[in-house]
Structure 1
Amino acid sequence: MNTSIESRLRRLAQAGQQHLLKGGLKGLEKESLRITPQGTIATTPHSESLGSALTHPYITTDYSEALIELITPPFQDPAETLGFLEDLHRYVYQHLGDELLLATSMPCEIEGDASIPIATYGNSNIGRMKHVYRRGLAWRYGRAMQAIAGIHFNYSVNEALWPVLQELEGDRQTLQAYIADQYFRLIRNVHRHGWLILYLFGSSPALCRSFFAGREDMTARFEALDARTLFRPHATSLRMSDIGYRNDSQAGLEICFNRLDDYVSSLCRAISTPYDAYERIGVKVAGDYRQLNTNILQIENEYYSPIRPKQIAQSCEKPTLALKRRGIRYVELRSVDLGCAHPVGIDLEGLRFLEVFMLYCLLEDSPPFQGHDRKTYAGNSLTVACCGRTPGFSLWRGNGQMLLRDWAREIADGMTAIAAALDQGVAAQAYTSSLARLEHAIRDPDATPSAKVLDELRQGRESFGEYGVRVSSEHARSLKSRALSPERAEEFARQSAQSLQEQAQIEASDTLSFEEFLRRYFEQACQPLPAESRAVG
Structure 2
Amino acid sequence: MQNTDKAFYKRLTVLQQPHVASTLRDIQHGIERESLRINPNGTLASTDHPAKLGSALTHHFITTDFSESLMEFITPPESCTQKTLQQLQDIHKFVVHNIDEEMLWPMSMPCFIKNQDEIRLAYYGESNVGRMKTLYRQGLKNRYGSMMQAIAGVHFNFSLPGHFWTPYLSEALGQSGSQQDISAAYMGLVRNYRRICWLIPYLYGSSPALCSSFLQGKSSNLPFEEIGKGSIYLKGATSLRMSDLGYTNNAQSSLQICYNELDAYVVSLRQAIQTPSPRFERFNGKHNGLFQQLNGNLLQIENELYSPIRPKQPTRSLEKPTDALDDRGVSYIEVRALDVNPFSPVGVEAQQIHFLDVFLLHCLLRPSAPFATGDFEETEHNIKVAVETGRCPEATLSRAGQPVLLRDWAKQLVAEMQPLAELLDNVNRCKDYTQALAGEMEKILEPELTFSGRILNMLQEQKLDNGELAISLAEQHKRTLMDAAYTVHSEEFFVQQAELSQQARTKIEANDKIDFDTFMRQQFGV
TM bucket (normalised to shorter chain) is over 0.9
Could you state the TM-score of these two structures normalised by the residue count of structure 1?
0.94
Is the aligned partner of 1:137 residue 2:140?
yes
What is the match of residue 18 of structure 1?
21
1:433 aligns with 2:443: no
Equivalent position SS for 1:160: helix
Q: Distance in 2 between matches of 1:55 and 1:427?
A: 38
Q: CA deviation at 1:248?
A: 4.5
Return the letter of the residue paired with 1:389.
Answer: R
Indicate conservation of the 8 Å contact 1:300/1:320, yes or no.
Answer: yes
Equivalent residue, structure 2, for 1:446: 448
Corresponding residue SS for 2:29: strand
1:492 Cα deviation (Å)? Answer: 1.2
Aligned to 1:111: 114
Alpha-carbon deviations, 1:403-461, whole Å to 9, x = none? 11111112101211111111115553111111122210121111111010000111121
Q: 1:213 aligns with which of 210, 213, 216?
A: 216
Q: Paired residue for 2:463, among 451, 461, 464? A: 461
Structure 1 residues 406 and 310: CA distance shift in structure 2, 3 A: same
Partner Cα separation in structure 1 for residue 38 and residue 194 of structure 2: 33
Range that drifts further, 418-427 or 126-135:
418-427
| Corresponding letter in the other structure for 1:313 | T
Distance 1:427 1:278, change over 3 A: closer
Alignment of 1:239-278 (within 5 A): 239-246=241-248, 248-278=250-280
Q: How far apart are residue 129 of structure 1 and its match?
A: 0.5
For residue 87 of structure 2, what is the amino acid of its counterpart?
F
1:295-336 deviations in Å (ceiling 9; x for gaps): 000000000000011111000111110111111111000010
Whole-Å Cα distance in 1 between the matches of residues 488 and 406 of structure 2? 49
**TM-score, normalized by length of structure 2?**
0.96
Task: State the 1:17 CA deviation.
Answer: 2.1
- Aligned residue pairs: how many? 522
Match of 1:152 among 155, 168, 171: 155
Q: Hey, what's the Cα distance between the residues in 1 that align with 2:18 and 2:82?
A: 29
In the alignment, structure 1 residue 288 sits paired with structure 2 residue 290: yes
CA distance in 1, matches of 2:203, 2:177: 37
Superposed structure 1 runs of 4+ greater than 4 Å apart: none
Q: Is the 8 A contact 1:207 1:230 kept in 2?
A: yes
**What do residues 24-58 of structure 1 show as CA deviations (whole Å, max 9, x unaligned)?**
10100000000000101100000011000000010
Paired position in structure 1 for 2:62 = 59
2:500 to 498, 501, 510: 498
- Could you tell me which runs of 5 or more consecutive residues in structure 1 were left unpaired when the two chains were aligned: 524-537
1:414–1:3: structure 2 CA closer, same or farther, 3 Å change rule?
farther
In 2, are the aligned partners of 1:112 and 1:214 still within 8 Å (CA)?
A: no
Q: Which runs of 5+ in 2 are unaligned?
A: none
Partner of 1:192: 195
Of 381, 384, 405 in structure 2, the residue corresponding to residue 379 of structure 1 is 381
SS in 2 for 1:435: helix
- Aligned partners of 1:501, 1:291: CA distance in 2, in Å? 28
Aligned to 2:405: 403
Aligned to 1:517: 519
Q: What is the deviation of 1:18?
A: 2.1
> C-alpha displacement at 1:232, in angstroms?
0.3
What amino acid is the match of 2:255? L
Q: Where does residue 91 of structure 2 map in the other structure?
A: 88
- Displacement, 1:220? 6.5
What residue number does 1:102 align with?
105
SS of equivalent to 1:277: coil
Q: 2:87·2:487 contact (CA, 8 Å) conserved in 1?
A: no
**C-alpha distance in 1 between matches for 2:175 and 2:250:** 41
Return the alpha-carbon distance in structure 1 between the equivalents of residues 495 and 221 of structure 2: 45
Partner-residue secondary structure (3-state), 2:162 = coil
Q: Is the 8 A contact 1:63 1:119 kept in 2?
A: yes
Task: Please tell me whether the aligned partners of residues 236 and 387 of structure 1 are also in contact (alpha carbons under 8 angstroms).
Answer: yes
Do 2:227 and 2:464's aligned partners in 1 also have CA atoms closer than 8 Å?
no
Question: One-letter code of the match for 1:234?
Answer: G
Alignment root-mean-square deviation, CA: 1.6
The superposition leaves residues 348-394 of structure 1 with CA deviations (integer Å, 9 ceiling, x where unpaired) of 11111111111111111111111121111011011111110111211
* Aligned match for 1:479, one of 478, 481, 486: 481
> How many Å apart are 1:519 and its aligned residue?
3.0
Quick one: distance in 2 between partners of 1:486 and 1:6?
Answer: 39
The answer (yes or no) to whether the contact 2:224–2:233 under 8 Å persists in 1 is: yes
SS at match of 2:26: coil
